[in-house]
Amino acid sequence: MMVKSWLQRQMPLLSGPAAFVLGYVLCAPQLGAKGAAAMGMALWMALWWVFRPVDIAVTSMLPIVINSLFDLIPASHVISQYFSEIVVLLLGADLLCLTWHTTGLDRRISVRVLCHIGASMRAQVFAWLMVSVVLSVFLPNVVVAAILCPIAVAMLEFLGGGTTDRRMAMPILLAIGWGSGIGGFGSPIGGSANLVAISYLENLLGHEFMYVDWVVRFLPILAIVAALNLVFLWHYTPDVHAHGSRAYFRKSYASFGAMKRGERIGLWLFVLAAVLVFLRPLYADVLPGLKPAYSFLLCGFLLFFLHDEKGAPMLTWKYAEHNIMWGMMFLFASGMALGRVMIETGAVDALAKMLASWNLDGGFGTVLAFVVFASCMSEVSSNTAAVSIALPIVISICTALGLDAASYILIVIVAANCAYVLPVSTRAIPVGFGLEAGTQIRLGLRLTVLNMLVTTAVGCACLRFVPWFGQL
């Protein structure tokens, strides 16, 4: 009886290693030993993210540990993901946001937001989702999530519950994480995955791909996908109002008085970093090394030298060391490390060959297979990796079947930009700010299935009823 009770208590902890062994045994014949180990690692991490027997930051170290035990790929290829450019960007953004709390800027911004949106939870979800989608059309989705999450958390803390009030925090943080992810395919500059796709399209077409062609085709689809996300989130949003009305928030905002020097410095440095990211094409030739990650780190670095209205440093290392969200950075990096292992062990190539062996004819089944494959690749790696992996396969299959590959490429781009489940890539950021990974996985699985069906249906409709869709 005692042994049974002990096993029950240890089930969350044992589920990960058990999934690793099971995944290895089942996948080894198809994926090979190293590919099967990579797949088992993905299952292990997913279960520990759901059950959380240890902190998510501890789970995030699994790629390093498992790779060192099984020698799956060169260690440097895994380790380098833990301080990549995107992790540097998150560090810079975190440094900037730390001063928001010390100066009170977070309260000022959150109350200002509430003055415009109000306290209705459905209105909140609509606003955060739309802002995330629109901004990520023009800015990298990681930047958008890094900008909006601290503002949302500050607003939730002002309302009294913070991220511990799951009824309010869950739909808002999901709206930011999912919205900033899907908005990327709204324009060619929405993410590096889009630029990879354009390269493939230009090689296929033999001429320059016009950006206006992208916008005309993808904005209507983005509107449909965003509407699906909104309806889904509303379904899980409680029909409640946060404490306070617009009049109450306006009165609270007026009580803050004029902005102090520290608040202005914190705000303008954050704005400067965001503007540098947005205007990157204008100065890339002059400052080729000042990529978005280093723009944010540079502005965060300046905080250690600037002083507020009291003459005190805007930021000290002692405060930063204890308050930087190291766990979020590990979580984000672990997703990229997992994707690197999946690709370099050949697990992805083996899955691609399995897809190519199916009897596809270009109809609904073909579109569904492409959509499911691209979506799954985005879940375990990133949308850039998913596009890089999926498009050569799509082109080769379409060529073999005598199909117009351009139309199918466009559909795959949509699928690769819509990932909702595992807390990797952009989806790691809301989890780092307090969203439960298990909740994201549980609801993300449901939305992923719906999104796959909707994307497939829209793609098939475009192939059949929109003749110019693939005419590039």
What pLDDT score was predicted for residue 165? 65
Rounded distance, CA 306 to CA 95, Å?
13
Q: How distant, in Å, are the alpha carbons of 22, 170, 203 from that of 43?
A: 9, 24, 36
Contact between 293 and 18 under an 8 Å Cβ cutoff? The reply is no
Rounded distance, CA 421 to CA 167, Å?
19
**Is residue 221 classed as helix, strand or coil in its secondary structure?**
helix
Domain extents in the chain: 1-54, 83-184+223-326
Which residues fall within 8 angstroms of residue 406, CB to CB, at 6 or more apart? 201, 204, 205, 470, 471, 472
Contact between 361 and 450 under an 8 Å Cβ cutoff? The reply is no
- What is the reported pTM? 0.71
Rounded distance, CA 460 to CA 315, Å?
54
Note the maximum CA span of the chain: 72
As a dihedral over the C-alpha atoms of residue 272, residue 273, residue 274, residue 280, rounded to 10 degrees, the angle is 100
The DSSP result for 271-323, as a single string, is HHHHHHHHTHHHHTTT-TT--HHHHHHHHHHHTTT-B-TTS-BS--HHHHHHH
Question: Across the chain, what does the average pLDDT equal?
Answer: 82
Residue 338, Cβ density class (10 Å: 0-12 exposed, 13-18 middle, ≥19 buried): buried
pLDDT at residue 319 greater than cutoff 60: yes
**DSSP code at position 210:** P
Closest CA relative to residue 274, chosen from 97, 411, 16: 97
**Cα 418-128-375 angle, rounded to 5 deg:** 5
Q: How distant, in Å, are the alpha carbons of 162, 356, 366, 378, 392 from that of 353?
A: 47, 5, 15, 18, 12
Closest CA relative to residue 82, chosen from 105, 62, 52, 112: 62
Reported as a single tens digit per residue, the pLDDT across 281-309 is 788 889 888 887 888 899 999 999 999 88
Reported as a single tens digit per residue, the pLDDT across 213-269 is 777 888 889 999 999 999 999 998 887 666 655 666 777 778 878 889 999 998 899
Q: Which residue has the higher pLDDT, 207 or 226?
A: 226
